[in-house]
Amino acid sequence: MLTRFRAAVGIALAQLRRDRVRTTLAVTGVVLAVLAATLLAGVGFGVVQTGQEKFDQSGRDLWMTGGPLQLQPGSVGGFQPGITGAHTLSEELHAREDVRTAVPLSFQTVYVGANNSSLSTMVAVGTPGVGGSAVNLAAGEGFTKGGRAHYAGGSYDGPMTREVILDPQTAERLGVGVNDTVHLGATVVGAKSHEWRVVGISPTFRNFLGTSAATVPLSELQTITGTAREDRAAMLTIDTVEGADPSAVAAELQAQYPQYDVRTNQEQLQSVLRQKALVIASGLTLTVLAVIAGIALTVNLLLLLVYQQRRTLAAVRAIGVSETTLVAITTVQGLAIGLLGGAIGIALTVPLGQGLSELAAMLVGFEGLVRTPPLVLGVGGVLAVLVGVVSAAVAGYRVAGVEPLEHL
């Protein structure tokens, strides 16, 4: 039995070495199928892990939103935040015994430049204050009077401080530092007409948004973008007191404010992923097609090999070699192709994953969007074996059907 198995293995490997072109094509099919599965799995794993890390790094337990941030083409700022009465709502939440902080945030598009002739668009984040867990300052003192001078208790008639906090990359690109000035406005005319003093450097919102960010007092951003009348904000980030159960607090707030969505970090991440359901489904579809194509290519090449060797196989059958031995030869060929293709695919997954991760960081600003932990590599190995087994099973069935009298 052992001698027969060794002979089958030797014959199978000899056939693969002899027909190197078909062997190479079959292995390539397996490699492509493995890479498609591992890289997409790496993207999915990386996106979820990066998203979870970003929410954890935010230092917030709950997120209150007024639905998806709505685009308003042609409007100043470009966005229509969903929460109204943001300052008042923040004070109400802060008064609760189970809430430590409740910070309203607004996101708008503004024009920023080191001078009035070199303006470019970027995201402006409006927040009523900085320091502590709200905005971590790497340099500077932050907003004077907590960023509430213009808000003036809700009258919006206080002085405009025109203070801005830039992320380190933007400050370097503009060539400015603390106490320098930049031009900023919701319109080109507004940006050219007003200078804002840089009062701090902070990576907080760039790390969270993955793009350049200029942080300004919330009330001043509302004023220049026309959202002050309703005191609009995109969301409130809520930090609960130590010992409080975020899920329980979220449930209470959801019941108290049914017009808004209150989510924990995990629920907010799931909400973001659900909004990308079409993209995720498209990626899964492409992976399934790639796997099917890899299996089809391998099966087709093995069947072609069987067809070309049909007379030889018929002669071998006629002199007494058992059907089991012939099937074993084909099975070994399929498994060898699957294992070799899987090994190459897994070996290529790590460098290709790192390259894709760096490319994604350049395009969207987030690092680590493609990760290939051992679990992902294991998926590739299982898939390679599956391709080899399916190919071997189909080819073996065809070998078993070879009739000596039809071909001799």
Residue 200: φ, ψ to 5° = 180, 160
Cα→Cα distances 116→21, 173, 310, 392, Å: 63, 15, 79, 69
Return the higher-pLDDT residue of 366 and 325. Answer: 325
| CA–CA gap between residue 233 and residue 37 (Å, rounded) | 41
Cα→Cα distances 118→75, 80, 179, 217, Å: 22, 27, 19, 23
The tally of CA atoms less than 13 A away on the side-chain side of residue 250 is: 20
Tell me what pLDDT residue 219 has. 92
Three-state secondary-structure class, residue 366: coil
What's the pLDDT band for 216 if we cut at 50, 70, 90? very high
Decide if pLDDT at 358 tops 90.
no
Which is it for strands 195-201 and 139-140: parallel, antiparallel or unpaired? antiparallel
| In the chain, % of residues over pLDDT 70 | 71
What's the pLDDT tens digit per position in 80-92?
678 999 999 999 9
Are 229 and 84 within 8 A, CB to CB? no
End-to-end CA distance of the chain: 28
What's the pLDDT band for 131 if we cut at 50, 70, 90? very low
Q: How many residues does the chain have?
A: 408
Mean pLDDT of 279-295: 68
**For residue 253, what is the enclosing H or E element?**
helix 246-256
- 196-211 burial, b at 16+ Cβ within 10 Å, e below that, comes to bbbbbbbbbbbbbbbe
> How would DSSP label each residue in 186-237?
SSHHHHHH-EEEEEEE--HHHHHHSS-EEEEEHHHHHHHHT-TTTT-BSEEE
| CA–CA gap between residue 325 and residue 321 (Å, rounded) | 7
| In the chain, % of residues over pLDDT 90 | 19
What's the pLDDT band for 132 if we cut at 50, 70, 90? very low
Out of 30-34, 340-344, 376-380, the most confident range is: 340-344
Tell me what pLDDT residue 275 has. 58
What is the reported pTM?
A: 0.64
The tally of CA atoms less than 13 A away on the side-chain side of residue 360 is: 18
Q: Give every CB contact of residue 203 below 8 A, 6+ residues apart in sequence.
A: 136, 138, 167, 168
Q: What is the mean pLDDT of the chain?
A: 79
What's the pLDDT band for 133 if we cut at 50, 70, 90? very low
